[in-house]
Structure 1
């Protein structure tokens, strides 16, 4: 295949908005080989491994752990940093598995590697005693398996800002990692099923789950480690929380989120360790330039928004390669109680408001999960490339319908529960 057909770096905004990035089209086997090589290189000689969602929250956890373990700071020179990111429109993760932002991301997350323009152009890992292993909620088991295979016996292992939907998804890989590591700690703030949390703890893991309405994962790490962090790291956790919980009271939190989204994860960690939340001028210039395209993609997605009335709630739905939080905010301003943003790679972000705070339940019905007001999913509706072709040409019509049906189910369940309570 002509590489230019899948290279989305130079596409016009109109086309870039509706198509996934280059990483989407790479075979899983190739991606697995690349991730094996990168993880092996990162873990060589490392005393600590950190499996983390490569969004601002997950990477703040890595920064805190490197500080606690007194790992050396290696800040990239501005010229080196620009070379590693100039052609990388959102390759914050080296994985080509589509993280439903989180599928995050749930937050801004976790970059969708399917949105990455140059997934093969990842820089070589810089040696650290505290090694970063980026992972999405949908491939955390692969990261655990790689730590078990490539990590030294007796390594300390931390898992941050990630939550498995079911214990059986990670059971074997977690057991192997526990056998390899001297200790395993898991710090998170997402919604955990009680049975999953209990099983993880019984496997020998020190699991700490914070209140997703009050804390981000960096907060959980900060209070859980036996280390006295200085004011710079306390501020890093606070500003990260401002964006991760969508408080938006500190404008610097958007800078952190965007920078984490657009740059290499390793670069982000070292820059915030050196400068804290007040990013240097060369980073601010880089972020400002990227926001021009970001704004154009947001406008495209907002322009496609449609609104449905579901059980008394107004639900906005749109499609596009975009920053989901800003698009959801625009739909909220137009009256949406909840919003669905379907991405070209097949995943979707679900955002709520004070009026609707059951996004994680909606996502749970379509192969996902997350927070009450921020969740992600990837509906199991893609059997072959023809399904994806239909997805792109219809602007995600099937995915939107499946997720809106999930909204109807959740609202129906809510009404039935209310009727039972009345009785």
Structure 2
């Protein structure tokens, strides 16, 4: 394939909005080989390894753990490199594409990093790659090294059973901090393997909150504030403008850069970071506008559901659709996944997502319907702006609506296994 065909910089904004990023076109086998090598290198000689979601919440937890273990990296080299990026007129542009569970990867994480390595290694993972990440860490972990898992929730016992048992037998200790909604059977299994599992209330805490209160350490005030601002974004409160900066910076920087910078500055990011984020937002805002313009609204039961398509930042798009009257929003992505966002009038996103190969929180969830058999299906997806995916997800909304009593938002939820 001609590289120019998947080069984002060569695409018009209209086409970029409708097509997935170039990483989508790389075979999974290459990704797996690369992930294997990165985990091996990360674990080699490390006194501890953190498996974490690569969004602001997961990485905020990493910053806390490294502070406790006196393993933070020097922030100066990252600031120097950031300044150089700002001077580079040819620096590629992109947009945030982070899923609810943090499955989205940092845009810069596939770049080689030549900075020093922390003795507390970081292995980035998403909910769908959690089992593989734990398996690789178990294979390459130094004997008796500690392991932390942050901001990740297994879909089932089967996805982590073998890898977690192997990991627990090799590690000195395994601690797991999260705030997603856990299945009781999965939580019981994780604890039975000897893991110290702490799960916070998903309506009240983010994982950075959970990590902060679970570590016996007198943190400087900037880390307490970092947890508060991270929560503002992760729980979709949107009351502190700094939370948007954290979320965008976590996506546009490498994981190591983000951890070093928030570890040094907390939620008050330095001027160079703010300048960089503002520069990247020019195209981001244009892609948001495109997605909002494409939105259509439909009535499902008592709820108005706004549905749109495109590469965009789903939170801002959902905000705009909510302002236009949507109780719930569906943002279908060119890569085939979708982000669901709710409101005070709709707190069942996780139930809808569970019906279409996903999960998450009552007001924020993600999914990827299992409907793509070959590249022709994806071609249809791109040329119809996700028509089949939209239809499947709206059918899941209808099923949830059919099982909810009119006006009742207080029951225990629906059975997603039927």
Q: TM-score, normalised on structure 1?
A: 0.91
Secondary structure of the corresponding residue to residue 118 of structure 2 = coil
Alignment of 1:315-334 (within 5 A): 315-334=305-324
2:45–2:119 contact (8 Å) kept in structure 1? yes
Structure 1 unaligned regions, length at least 5: 92-99
Query: Corresponding residue for 2:140?
Result: 150
Unaligned runs of 5+ in 2: 412-418
Q: Distance in 2 between matches of 1:174 and 1:36?
A: 17
Q: Deviations over 1:188-245 (max 9, x none)?
A: 0011111111111112211111001110000000111111111011111111111111
Question: Does residue 339 of the first structure (1) align with residue 344 of the second (2)?
Answer: no
Distance 1:82 1:279 in 2: 14
CA deviations 1:331-377 (Å, max 9, x no partner) are 00000000000101111100000001010000000000000000001
Q: Is the 8 A contact 2:95 2:284 kept in 1?
A: no
**Bigger mean CA deviation after superposition, 299-308 or 37-46:** 37-46
Of residues 282, 289, 298, the one that matches 2:288 is 298
Alignment of structure 1 residues 265-276 onto 2, 5 Å: 265-276=255-266
1:176-195 aligned at under 5 Å gives the runs: 176-195=166-185
Answer whether contact 1:73 1:274 (CA < 8 A) is retained.
Answer: no
Alignment partners' CA distance in 1, 2:83 and 2:189: 44
Is the 1:316–1:340 Cα contact (8 Å) retained in structure 2?
yes
Among 79, 98, 111, the alignment partner of 2:104 is 111
- The reply to whether residue 89 of structure 1 matches residue 94 of structure 2 is yes
Structure 1 pair 203–83 and aligned structure 2 pair: CA distance change class (3 A): farther
Distance 2:315 2:110 in 1: 27
Residue 97 of structure 1 corresponds to which residue in structure 2? Answer: none
Alpha-carbon distance in structure 1 between the residues aligned to 2:140 and 2:82? 28
- SS of the aligned residue for 1:49 comes to strand
Q: Using a 3 Å threshold, how does the CA distance of structure 1 residues 82 and 135 change in structure 2: closer, same or farther?
A: farther
Following TM superposition, by how much is the alpha carbon of 1:6 offset from its aligned partner in structure 2, in angstroms?
1.4
Q: Are positions 1:160 and 2:157 aligned together?
A: no
The structural deviation recorded for 1:87 is 3.5
Q: 1:15 is paired with a residue of what secondary structure?
A: helix
Give the secondary structure class of the aligned counterpart of 1:201.
helix
Query: 2:79 maps to what in 1?
Result: 78
Picking from 98, 102, 117, the partner of 2:99 is 102
The aligned residue for residue 94 of structure 1 is none
Q: CA RMSD in A?
A: 2.0
Q: Which residue of 2 aligns with 1:351?
A: 341
Alpha-carbon distance in structure 2 between the residues aligned to 1:353 and 1:199? 33
2: CA distance between counterparts of 1:133 and 1:296?
32
Of 257, 260, 270, 2:250 maps to 260
- Alpha-carbon shift at residue 9 of structure 1 (Å): 3.3
CA distance in 2, matches of 1:174, 1:416: 43
Shift of 1:84: 7.0
User: 1 CA distance for matches of 2:9 and 2:185?
Assistant: 43
Displacement of 1:83 after TM fit? 5.7
Say whether 1:212 aligns with 2:213.
Answer: no
Tell me the equivalent position of 1:132: 122
Q: Decide which moves more: 194-203 or 354-363.
A: 194-203
1:414–1:90 Cα change, 3 Å: same
Q: Distance in 1 between matches of 2:15 and 2:338?
A: 19
2:25 is matched with which residue? 25
1:59 aligns with 2:59: yes
Q: Does the Cα contact within 8 Å between 1:102 and 1:136 map onto a contact in 2?
A: no
Structure 1 residue 73: Cα displacement: 2.7
User: Which of 80-89 and 367-376 deviates more?
Assistant: 80-89
Conserved 8 A contact 1:360-1:373: yes
The alpha carbon displacement at 1:81 in A equals: 3.0
Cα distance in 2 for residues equivalent to 1:126 and 1:84? 19
Number of paired residues? Answer: 404
1:17 counterpart SS class? helix
CA-CA distance at 1:154 after TM superposition? 0.6
